[in-house]
Amino acid sequence: MTRLDLSLSAFELIAVTRVALGLGLGLLLARRLEDHTRTRLGASLLAIGAASTIPALIAVRRARTS
């Protein structure tokens, strides 16, 4: 079994990454805001979430112990 020892800051990074991705995708799919506002906000959050996934993956790989 693989064990994962994450620091609190690494766990928070992963959580914020998932939230940004989810909010960005949700805004892109929603129809309640004006199109240009929704698209700009959604694309920005999605890009931030995607970009912050790389450091989160690195943190998880470093925390893995067999």
- pLDDT, residue 60, reads 83
pLDDT tens-digit series, residues 5-27:
888 888 888 888 888 888 888 88
CA distance 55 to 4: 16
pLDDT tens-digit series, residues 20-54:
888 888 888 877 778 888 888 888 888 888 888 88
Cβ atoms of residues 23 and 41 within 8 Å: no
